[in-house]
Amino acid sequence: CILMYWINNTRSHKNKVDRFLHKMRLNDEQLNDISARFQAEMKKGLSAESNAAAAVKMLPTHVRSTPDGTEKGQFLALDLGGSKFKVLQIKVREDQGIRKGGVEIEEKTYPIPNEVLNGRGTELFDHVSESLKDFMHEKNINPKKKHPLAFTFSFPCEQPTLDQGFLLEWTKDFSVRGLQGKDVVDSLRQAIKRTGGMDMEILAMVNDTVATMMTCGFDDKNCEVGVIIGSGTNACYMEQLNHVDLVEGDEGQMCVSTEWGALGDDGTLDDYITEFDREVDACSINPGKQIFEKMVSGMYLGELVRLVVLKMAKLGLLFDGRVTNALRTKGTITTAHVAAMEEYKNCLGHTREILESLNLSPSADDCIAVQHISTIVSFRSSNLVAAGLAAILTRIQKNRNTRELRITIGVDGTVYKTHPQYPKRLHKVVRRLLPECHVRFVLSESGSSKGAALVSAVAQRLASRKRQTLNSFKLSWEQLQLVKARMRAALQAGLKTDGPSEVKMLPSFVYRTPDGSEHGKYLALDLGGTNFRAMLVNFKKGLQQNTKLYHKIYKIPLEIMQGTGEELFDYLAQCVGDFLDYMGMKNTRLPAGFTFSFPCEQTALDTVSIQLTLWTKGFKATNCEGHDVVDMLREAIKRRDEFDLDIVALVNDTVGTLMSCAYEDPQCQVALIAGTGSNVCYMEEVKNIENDADFSKMCINTEWGGLGDDGTLDDIMTSDDTEVDQNSINPGKQRFEKLTSGMYLGEIVRRVLLNLTIRGLLFKGYVSEALKTPGIFETKYLSQIESDRLALLQVRSILQHMGLEGTCVDIITVKEVCGAISRRAAQLCGAGMAAVVDKIRENRGLDRLNITVGVDGTLYKLHPHFSRILQETTRALAPQCDVTFLPSEEGSGKGAALIAALAKHMQ
């Protein structure tokens, strides 16, 4: 009967507390109600419209997958924000999982002095980086080596990328000044710089819930939820990307840190808030904030119990109404006390000790009552967490459209780890609220930093993949020498054989450069890669500088470029007619030179039997290849029957450019076009050409664009290059041109960006329609994007203009890709040019050669770095040649007119 008396007595005292704290005792209906309210808040937080006003921020973390076992590497890690600040070294071995010892950890906890907790931001991060330095020193970690660093930061942060985190607000007991709204990753970088003596690469910043999910996910593939019930509380889970409005993209998943601690900050939980909760909030460092957290987490549970005990004592319901200063003092009952009062074995003993430590002399009944208060307060905490988890699991059920959810929840935090009853209660209520779900709870044994290291391992792998992609466009010195040698061999081979050779070495029948004797009026027609130019040139004998020149540029529509040959030449004839009209010279039959920037085989300078061997660049007009393009123009002019022309010469645009530049600088013996297309011509020794003309030299149009058509460049072509070639209008042709000219560089960039995005390395993996559109990334954008004068924002607007939205990191990557591809193009042209000038030097048996190269083309003229890199590469690969590069002023048209003058002179 003593026992019965004891039981009834206990029950009655508990009932007294139950009545007093009835508002804290939540039944399943209320928990489901809270779960439903939380689900509504989650929706608000995920939607772009309502996110700003939402209390529960639902922060995207840029963690797109849970571990897949391939993560590996050695990392330093910082774990800041929980009750302990830790510095760690983590070694992750591939495919071994934590349980199989796949992860080794060394760690050290560093206290954070109060003055730092409430000091300035720089002081906090100086403390962090000095602790890091101390740890490295203690563990003999080489300070000279660059170390990947993983950063767990357990506060609400907006993250545009994995390695940026803008602090929204402090929670728990942190109230450091000057960091809210700042990128804490950058603050850490600055502090590490200030501390000095270490070199860190901060790969990722993660919230402790995310790191906990990743840590548990390394062993359990079903782990897609992470929850912290520690000094603070929060939960994250894998959400479908198409529900995360703040991040572009619909494919796949992304981990979202709910920051459920703020549930109720907008009054959503007011009907569940008790007077004790209001008092805890009012006395906290962040009143009105983190309402849910203040009902649940370790920072506040002890205080809640104290306030309840204090109130009941004041009401005479405890200790006969006796109250002590200790009991009135904030923080004298801690969450550790609450846990102790719930110890299975000696809960009442602990309760008595704690109350006596507050100078109280509790009766046995008082101890029963106070112990029960602790139970109710911590029970409510686990119930509220259960309601929160039920909301998250319900959302995942809906996302997967399944009721039978098998899922694991990774858990960490002192309350969950040290409070004896907490885990069991939590598991039980979650399973009771969602009986159809198979929910497994996994405790994150040794903290979240393993997870942070795993996230960093993924970031490192992604970064290295990006670096691999960029490196695949890097040419070594040896490779450039190889290209020079291959170009040289191809030049040689092209001169020899009449048969097919990749570098055609087409004779131009121009045997000398101008000597100033040219005079008279000539018409020049210039069909380039994108435009057609008509010009009238008037030369004055020996007075180069007095040359008069009038011209008009006509854009060539794509449908004309790729229509019938007849339409193309009718269009050219129409333009000429328009120009002569404009010049009032329709009735004058002027001698004309025709610059035709495509490979043509000709047997003489003037216009007998000229054959277009193949279209290049964007041209594909039918019935032209193998035909005499001068005849076709003549036919078109005849069809037009408005004016007549005496076309006396046809030259390639490189030859025209050489003439035009040689008119200024007689030392000009080579000409390069680096524009829509890519090509070079130069004055070759006639003895090296199967031609018996009575001249010493002849200008050879190399058509070097064809190098590689027989596979000689396969070892430097990347998969993206191959894709561009295979999807071009002339697959397998003009391989060298496709690596070096304006027609293709933009497209190579687009394909690289597309492949990086598909692999999740760019634009957050979001493959926009724009990115899938061939030709959308025009080469002119490369020149703009690579200009040093442009800030990232301006580059962003260029990308936006193309329908590409990117983060700062994305924009830097785009700039890097553009730079890598244009740099390679310029280097390849430099290697080719070195082959040409060195051949001329050897032709002439010279040790040193002084020579001028005339240049034209939008890529050379407009790209901010192309010309410099090309010149540097040429000089480096042909050190015995002093090469001057002379940009052509008036294009090759003037050159064509000069040749027309030559041709006229020879008639």
Query: Which stretches of the chain bind ligand 0WK, using CB under 6 A?
Result: 79, 81-84, 152, 154, 208, 211, 228, 230-232, 298, 412-414, 447-448, 526, 528-530, 595, 597, 653, 656, 673, 675-677, 742, 856-858, 891-893
Mark whether 366 is an active-site residue: no
Residues 414-423 as b or e (16 or more Cβ within 10 Å = b): bbbbebebbb
Torsion of CA 115, 121, 127, 133, to 10 degrees: 180
Half-sphere exposure of residue 420: CA atoms within 13 angstroms, side-chain side: 13
For 604, residues 6+ apart whose C-beta sits below 8 A from its C-beta are 509
Q: Whole-number minimum distance, CB 671 to ligand 0WK, in Å? A: 10
Half-sphere exposure of residue 23: CA atoms within 13 angstroms, side-chain side: 12
Give residue 111's identity as a one-letter amino acid code.
P
Which H or E run contains 793?
helix 792-801
Sites for ligand BGC among residues 155-184 (CB under 6 A) = 155-156, 171-172
Give the nearest residue (CB) to ligand BGC: 677
**Does residue number 456 form part of the binding site for ligand BGC (CB under 6 A)?**
no
The CA angle 244-250-255, to the nearest 5 degrees, is 45
819 binds, among ligand BGC, ligand 0WK, none (CB under 5 to 8 A by kind): none
Among 652, 718, 740, 813, binds ligand BGC (CB under 6 A): 652
Read out DSSP for 802-820?
TT----HHHHHHHHHHHHH
**Does residue number 208 form part of the binding site for ligand BGC (CB under 6 A)?**
yes
SS3 93: coil
654 binds, among ligand 0WK, ligand BGC, none (CB under 5 to 8 A by kind): ligand BGC
Mark whether 597 is an active-site residue: yes
Q: Whole-number minimum distance, CB 891 to ligand 0WK, in Å? A: 3
**Does residue number 618 form part of the binding site for ligand BGC (CB under 6 A)?**
no
> What is the strand order of the sheet 199-206 is part of?
103-110, 85-92, 73-80, 146-153, 199-206
SS3 606: coil
175 binds, among ligand BGC, ligand 0WK, none (CB under 5 to 8 A by kind): none
Mark whether 653 is an active-site residue: yes
Cα separation of 373 and 376, whole Å? 5
155 binds, among ligand BGC, ligand 0WK, none (CB under 5 to 8 A by kind): ligand BGC
Interface segment toward ligand BGC; rule CB under 6 A; list 38-46, 240-248, 548-556, 649-657: 649-657
**Does residue number 388 form part of the binding site for ligand BGC (CB under 6 A)?**
no
Phi, psi of 411, deg, nearest 5: -125, 145
592 forms beta bridges with 523, 647
Sites for ligand BGC among residues 683-712 (CB under 6 A) = 703, 705
- Residue of 277, 570, 653, 810 marked catalytic: 653
742 binds, among ligand BGC, ligand 0WK, none (CB under 5 to 8 A by kind): ligand 0WK
Residues 98-125 as b or e (16 or more Cβ within 10 Å = b): beeebbebebeebebeeebbbbebbbbb
Among 675, 708, 765, 854, binds ligand BGC (CB under 6 A): 675
Cα separation of 540 and 420, whole Å? 103
Phi, psi of 884, deg, nearest 5: -105, 130
Among 234, 513, 718, 779, binds ligand BGC (CB under 6 A): 234
**Does residue number 599 form part of the binding site for ligand BGC (CB under 6 A)?**
yes
Give residue 67's identity as a one-letter amino acid code.
P
- Residue of 448, 456, 508, 597 marked catalytic: 597
- Residue of 37, 306, 352, 533 marked catalytic: 533
Please count the residues of this chain forming the interface with ligand BGC, following the rule CB under 6 A: 35
**Does residue number 79 form part of the binding site for ligand BGC (CB under 6 A)?**
no
685 forms beta bridges with 697
171 binds, among ligand BGC, ligand 0WK, none (CB under 5 to 8 A by kind): ligand BGC
For 114, residues 6+ apart whose C-beta sits below 8 A from its C-beta are none
**Closer to ligand 0WK by Cβ: residue 528 or 705:** 528
**Closer to ligand BGC by Cβ: residue 38 or 643:** 38
**Closer to ligand BGC by Cβ: residue 819 or 893:** 893
State the residue for tokens 């840590």: 215
Interface segment toward ligand BGC; rule CB under 6 A; list 108-116, 136-144, 148-156, 176-184: 148-156
The CA angle 277-282-283, to the nearest 5 degrees, is 100
Phi, psi of 832, deg, nearest 5: -65, -45
Q: Which residues bind ligand BGC (CB under 6 A)?
A: 81-82, 154-156, 171-172, 207-209, 228, 230, 232-234, 259, 261, 293, 529, 597-599, 616-617, 652-654, 673, 675, 677-679, 703, 705, 737
Residues that are catalytic:
533, 597, 653
